[in-house]
Amino acid sequence: MGEPAWVQKLHSRANTLAAEFKRGGGTSCIDEAIELDREALELCPSGHPDQSVSLTRLAAHLGDRYRQLGVMRELEEAIVCDQEALDLRPTGHPDRSISLNGLAIRLSLRYKQLGNMEDLDEAIALDREALYLLPQGHPDRSASINNLALYLSTRYKQLGFMENLDEAIALGREALHLRPRGHPDRWMSLNNLALHLSTRYNQLGVMDDLDDAIALDREALDLCSQRHHDRSMSLNNLAVDLSTRYKQLGIMEDLDEAIVLDRKALDLRPEGHPDRSMSLNNLAVCLSTRYNQLGVMEDLDEAIALDRQALYLRAEGHPDWSTSLNNLALDLSIRYKQLGVIEDLDEAIILDRQALDLRPQGHPDRSMSLNNLALDLSMRYKRFEFMENLDEAIALGREALDLRPKGHPDRWMSLNNLALHLSTRYNQLEVMDNLNEAIFLCQEALDLCPRGHPDWSASLDSLACYLHDRFRRSRQLKDQDELFGLYALLVYAPQVVSSVDLSVARTWIRVAEDFQHPTILLAYETSLQLLIQHLATLPSLPQHLSILKNLTSSLAVDAFSACLRNNSPAKAVELLEQGRGVFWSQLTRLRSPLDDVIASGVTGKELAAEFTRLAVLIRNTFNSPGVDQHERVCRLNLEIQKVVTSIRELPGFSRLLLPSLFSDLQRAASEGPVIIVNASKYSCDALVILLDHVPVHIPLHITQEDVRGLSAELRALTVRAVRVDVTRELAAFLRKLWERIVLPIVDFLCTTYPPQSRIWWCPTGEFSVFPLHAAGPFRKGQQNLPDIYLSSYTPTLTALIRARRCEQSSSTAERKCFIAVGQAKSAGGRELLSVGTELENIGHLVSNVATFTFTHINGEESCTSRVIEELGRNQWVHFACHGLPNRTQPFESAFALYDGRFTIQRIIGCDLKNPEFAYLSACHTTVGDEESPDELIHLASAMQFIGFRSVIGTMWAVDDAETNKITSTFYKHMVDGSGRLDHTRAAFALNKTMKSVRIPLDQQILYIHIGA
């Protein structure tokens, strides 16, 4: 074979391999292609007619490998080859346009990496010459048009010349027209035109541009297979545009999809990939945005880590260096607002100033840098009160606003921020002009943020706060009317509710309480409704408890107090039920029986099946942690919410899984009164729920601070009780409970209910740690509460109603299974010497009950997997082991088993069949989170959540020496007159037990009954 033919064969083989690489064939394909190109070039010395072809092809393939691996010397070699090829193709050469295009492409890649403006300008000049050489109808014209459009758009981003962007869009449309459906490069033109339209949207705010861009992005992604070499770019572009649309419209699905797409793009851009910094940056932006929506701290911390990686990859001089500086500063500033670490704010200000220096007059992002630096300086002023910080913030804010004239999509932001700085100066200097200007600016900002805009509620709140300030100064009623009129608009908040919306609603409550304004109940009701809507988008993951604590803190107990102060007891019950035990309420949705839905017809049956499928997937995801756990649960949450919405459209199911009405909650009192005992900073109250009457309000003459003092006193006593006898002090404490809390309630009950009736306590907040069931005068000849009534507890009214539902078992005569779990030892804990005897005694008694099968496991048998297995097939369970409470991370509270901790997080994943009764002979099984007692997250509530209708729990440490007496006596009293074990006798059995055994008072009162 002759030399020219061999060169052509090398070129052909190299092109085939390069094409295979672009289809996802791996780097070995492009490596071999380049080696073949080099071999061909060696066969084409100076003067050879194919030398320019060999140079051009080697340059193109080096450029392809650079895009994948980011090796800069290969890009430099490609540019040298392109320049040599162009020199060999002077004006008039038929392939000159090819070399012009090739060199322009490689120069633009170098510009992206190094930021040298001369490279970009030269690329534009080369491409204009190439386009001139490619008339209408030429097969390469679309590629040249496409490239020129990209370079012009890039130039716009750097210099802000709008004519560059408009020309880029016109060229992009022409290129797409030349690449109809079926054209192999259509995906490229789709991507690029979408990019130009998105860029123009960011400048002008025309929504059609953004919607068109997203439609083009989706078509481009569909054309890029899983192995396509530019799939990461299509993923990235669609994610960016969805994120942008979320910021404008607040559609949560857009943001969640953007995060999923960004993660996929990042996976396709490993270390060394030239576009890795872009994916790091974009994912960080989306996570930061979601943090602002949901408040998940892990999102913000991950965003900052990604920001730092991106900044490291964008060294000084990189064209996107200012973007990375800006984004890291923004996220550090957000974290400062949350945690107050001054180093975060100081670093943010340094980064802000660096970014601003890189964005001179005329730069399209200068207003953003001015805005961000102003905000951070204003926060620094609030920390240190350096007036120069605030004055500079105002000057920067005015400059930013000037750069965002009417019609600019971010004008509302600059208006709000400048108003904030002026309001801050008013608070310091009390210059009325500052406050009046702030109000004027805020009114314009609110007009630019229609309902549904992600910052609508924040703009509303700012204006309301400034009106409040002016009212306090001028006492003009029109300001007061306007501010409460603004807050009342929160009733019409969008379906997707952010943590900011909730914060604004809480501000409404605070102001309404200060004024004792007629909207006070509406404020509480709206806050709780927004909370429910927000939680529909926030996955009920244990790691999100801290967010839940912040969102629900005192809201329900204060709402309860407000309703009673305004003579609305039924509403008080409804709002309290909505706002307590929120985590359990959200999880309980996943276990809701849908029998009636199934029976409603074919559609109902299909929807119920889909709900059950999704609920199982969500429960499984709880035990599958990972980086994407949040996204997986978010996606499943959205899907299940859509199913719930569809079920509510069926006749008779419009209130499915909505908060219960009082008429439904009243059923909790079907077997005896339920007494809610509530502590709020506004009042302390008892409310007795009766089956056939309106609730009875009993004001308690005690303050929340008094209750906290009693709580501290009780904790000290129970700690001392482990070492010494505290009977005298404990009796005195129980006397205080009787006189200050329980006696007025009992006085009312005695007018209606005979002795030995059953009553249920539903304590809130600080009241939840008190042994209300054991209160009494403790004086000779006088009755204590256990002598008068049989007390049980319930965490919520709904939990009690659920505990009374009939089991699904077909026959009450069917044999039931009882499992006793013992574990005497635990890491770091003393050995429980009575566990073996305790299990034997229980076994002896239960084995004599005809309708029960008894099993016990102890020691090595009591491992987590075995216990989970046994819980799945036993209706009764008795735990005799160490209880390990965790008051700061309550989901880590656990039973100590042979192979470790059986935590609440593991317990709630169990799927049981008709569970009835659980006895928790372990320490602290009703001890929950010390900062959020109303979330009721402890071992006993976890057992109730997974279905046990009746539970015996413990309020503090159990004395191992006394447990045998207690449990043996208790189970004897659990047997009814016909010789059967009956879980509904638990409250009676516990009461009788504690009256008959001789044990120290602290052990006598620590056991409580929860449930039916």
For 195, phi and psi rounded to 5 degrees?
Answer: -65, -45
Tokens (6 digits) for 1005: 């009162």
Q: Decide if pLDDT at 628 tops 60.
A: no
Percentage of the chain beyond pLDDT 90 is 47
Per-residue model confidence (pLDDT) at position 946: 86
pLDDT range class, residue 543, cuts 50, 70, 90: low
Supply the mean pLDDT for the chain.
87
pLDDT range class, residue 810, cuts 50, 70, 90: very low
CA distance 340 to 333: 9
Per-residue model confidence (pLDDT) at position 49: 80
Per-residue model confidence (pLDDT) at position 327: 94
**pLDDT (mean) for 627-651:** 74
* CA atoms 222, 228, 230, 236: torsion sign: positive
Least confident of 7-21, 527-541, 599-613, 875-889: 527-541
* CA atoms 184, 185, 189, 194: torsion sign: positive
pLDDT tens, position by position, 40-83: 888 888 878 888 888 988 998 998 888 777 788 889 999 999 99
For 178, phi and psi rounded to 5 degrees?
Answer: -80, -5
Through-space distance between the first and last CA atoms of the chain, rounded to whole angstroms? 94
154: amino acid identity, one letter: T
> Which is nearest to 154 in space by CA: 190, 104, 204?
104
Name the most confidently modeled range: 143-157, 428-442, 606-620.
428-442
Per-residue model confidence (pLDDT) at position 22: 66
Name the most confidently modeled range: 271-280, 496-505, 668-677.
668-677
Residue 128 near residue 145 (C-beta atoms within 8 A): no
**pLDDT (mean) for 790-797:** 94
CA distance 79 to 536: 54
pLDDT tens, position by position, 667-715: 999 999 999 999 999 999 999 999 989 999 999 999 999 999 999 999 9
pLDDT tens, position by position, 823-846: 998 776 788 989 999 999 999 988
pLDDT higher for 633 or 95?
A: 95
pLDDT range class, residue 542, cuts 50, 70, 90: low
Residue 650 near residue 597 (C-beta atoms within 8 A): yes
Per-residue model confidence (pLDDT) at position 38: 87
Q: Decide if pLDDT at 638 tops 50.
A: yes
Per-residue model confidence (pLDDT) at position 909: 80
CA distance 129 to 110: 20
Tokens (6 digits) for 293: 């929506």
Mark out the alpha helices in 314-431 (DSSP H runs). Answer: 321-339, 342-357, 366-384, 387-402, 411-429
Residue 104 near residue 130 (C-beta atoms within 8 A): yes
pLDDT tens, position by position, 719-759: 888 888 889 999 999 999 999 999 999 999 999 999 999 99
pLDDT higher for 850 or 504?
A: 504
Q: Decide if pLDDT at 807 tops 50.
A: no
Q: Decide if pLDDT at 618 tops 80.
A: no
Q: Decide if pLDDT at 998 tops 70.
A: yes
Residue 659: DSSP 8-state: P
* CA atoms 516, 517, 521, 524: torsion sign: negative
pLDDT range class, residue 967, cuts 50, 70, 90: very high
The CB-based long-range contact list for 565-571 (8 Å cut-off, 24+ gap) reads: 565/682, 565/683, 566/520, 566/521, 568/521, 569/687, 569/694, 569/695, 569/697, 570/662, 570/694, 570/695, 571/521, 571/525, 571/662
For 449, half-sphere exposure in the C-beta direction (CA atoms, 13 angstrom radius) is 28
**pLDDT (mean) for 911-932:** 86
Residues in the chain: 1012
Residue 1010's DSSP bridge partners are 793, 951
Residue 789 near residue 749 (C-beta atoms within 8 A): yes
CA distance 31 to 63: 12
Q: Decide if pLDDT at 234 tops 60.
A: yes
Residue 739: DSSP 8-state: I
**pLDDT (mean) for 473-487:** 90
Residues 6+ apart with CB under 8 A from 2: none
- Residue 920, judged by CB atoms within 10 A of its CB (0-12, 13-18, 19+), counts as buried
Per-residue model confidence (pLDDT) at position 625: 55
Q: Decide if pLDDT at 776 tops 90.
A: yes
Three-state secondary structure call for residue 826: strand
> Which is nearest to 910 in space by CA: 898, 900, 902?
902
Residue 547 near residue 538 (C-beta atoms within 8 A): yes
pLDDT tens, position by position, 436-471: 999 999 999 998 887 767 788 889 999 999 999 999
Percentage of the chain beyond pLDDT 70 is 93
Mark out the alpha helices in 668-742 (DSSP H runs). Answer: 704-720, 727-737
CA distance 515 to 852: 62
Ranges of beta strands (E only) in 766-815 are 790-793
Q: What is the pTM for the complete model shown?
A: 0.70
pLDDT tens, position by position, 282-331: 999 999 998 887 788 899 999 999 999 999 998 777 778 899 999 999 99
Burial 694-718 (b: 16+ CB within 10 A, else e): ebbebebebebebbeebbeebeebb
pLDDT range class, residue 894, cuts 50, 70, 90: very high
> Which is nearest to 908 in space by CA: 547, 586, 578?
586
Least confident of 570-579, 591-600, 622-631: 622-631
**pLDDT (mean) for 260-265:** 93
CB atoms within 10 A of CB 314: 22
Residues 6+ apart with CB under 8 A from 368: 326, 359, 400, 410
* DSSP line for 74-124: HHHHHHHHHHHHHHTS-TT-TTHHHHHHHHHHHHHHHHHHH--HHHHHHHH
Burial 467-494 (b: 16+ CB within 10 A, else e): bbbbbeeeeeeebbebbbebbeebeebb
960: amino acid identity, one letter: D
Q: Decide if pLDDT at 266 tops 90.
A: yes
CA distance 742 to 571: 24
CA distance 792 to 500: 39
Per-residue model confidence (pLDDT) at position 444: 93
